[in-house]
């Protein structure tokens, strides 16, 4: 199952039709290992040798194939963005009822938790000088918000942000930066209220 979405071809400046995939298979995970990981790992090696440790991709070790046993599990949903037959992004969201909101005014309410979200390395400006597509992460993020609405959570979404992505979530998506989580590598817990979600969707 897929839905047409538009991403931005950064070489032409024009929007381009892509597909939001709601049925992810092991073949998609294998594609990330064959086409994504070598690029990320090579950039990591080069920067490590140069002593540029502050710019190392924090997700260089991610392996989507390890999540294959979670495909089809109740409460877990995977999404992908595909354009011209190539996978441009992947996301895993969790509907675990034990994961709850932390913003004081909605403390304890149900939330869609974005566990992993990754754009293909050729779309990430921290990895390549000239990214190919923009808005891949935004389209995946929007899918999580829409899922939250469909589940009756009113758009409430939460995640732990990698340091290199904090600006995207806090500034671009206008999420609330709630707290550093000492139990999650001190990553920043970010969260949407229903009002923030509605503003995001209205400008989508």
pLDDT in tens, 137-178: 999 999 999 999 999 999 999 999 999 899 999 999 999 999
Specify the pLDDT at position 101.
Answer: 98
Residues 187 and 76: their CA atoms lie apart, in Å, by 22
3-state SS, residue 58: coil
Where does the pLDDT of residue 48 fall: very low under 50, low under 70, confident under 90, or very high at 90 and above?
Answer: confident
Instruction: State the distance between the two ends of the chain, measured CA to CA, in whole angstroms.
Output: 21
Task: For 177-192, write each residue's pLDDT tens digit.
Answer: 999 999 999 999 999 9
Helix pair 136-150, 194-202: axis angle to 10 deg: 130
Residues 172 and 41: their CA atoms lie apart, in Å, by 27
pTM of the model: 0.93
Where does the pLDDT of residue 46 fall: very low under 50, low under 70, confident under 90, or very high at 90 and above?
Answer: confident
Where does the pLDDT of residue 52 fall: very low under 50, low under 70, confident under 90, or very high at 90 and above?
Answer: confident
- Asked if 108 and 100 count as a contact pair (C-beta separation under 8 A), the reply is yes
Burial (Cβ within 10 Å: 0-12, 13-18, ≥19) of residue 195: exposed
3-state SS, residue 71: coil
Does residue 204 surpass a pLDDT of 70? no
- Asked if 189 and 179 count as a contact pair (C-beta separation under 8 A), the reply is yes
All structural domains of the chain: 2-24+73-202 (3.40.630.30)
Burial (Cβ within 10 Å: 0-12, 13-18, ≥19) of residue 164: middle
- Asked if 194 and 154 count as a contact pair (C-beta separation under 8 A), the reply is yes
Specify the pLDDT at position 203.
Answer: 82
Task: For 54-105, write each residue's pLDDT tens digit.
Answer: 665 667 678 999 999 999 999 999 999 999 999 999 999 999 999 999 999 9
């Amino acid at each position: 199952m897929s839905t047409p979405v538009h991403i931005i071809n950064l070489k032409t400046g024009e929007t381009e039709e892509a597909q939001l995939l709601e049925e992810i298979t092991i073949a998609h995970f294998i594609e990330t290992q064959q086409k994504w990981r070598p690029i990320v790992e090579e950039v990591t090696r080069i920067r490590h040798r140069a002593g540029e440790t502050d710019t190392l991709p924090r997700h260089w070790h991610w392996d989507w194939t390890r999540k294959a046993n979670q495909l089809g599990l109740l409460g877990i949903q995977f999404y992908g963005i595909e354009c011209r037959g190539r996978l441009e992004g992947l996301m895993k969201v969790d509907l675990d009822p034990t994961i709850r909101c932390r913003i004081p005014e909605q403390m304890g309410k149900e939330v869609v938790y974005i566990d992993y979200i990754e754009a293909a390395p050729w779309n990430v400006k921290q990895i390549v000088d000239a990214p190919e597509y923009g808005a891949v992460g935004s389209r995946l993020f929007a899918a999580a918000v829409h899922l939250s609405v469909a589940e009756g959570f009113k758009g409430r979404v939460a995640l732990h942000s990698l340091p290199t992505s904090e600006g995207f979530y806090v500034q671009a998506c206008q999420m609330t930066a709630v707290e550093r989580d000492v139990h999650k590598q001190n990553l920043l817990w970010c969260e949407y209220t229903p009002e923030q979600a509605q503003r995001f969707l209205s400008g989508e």
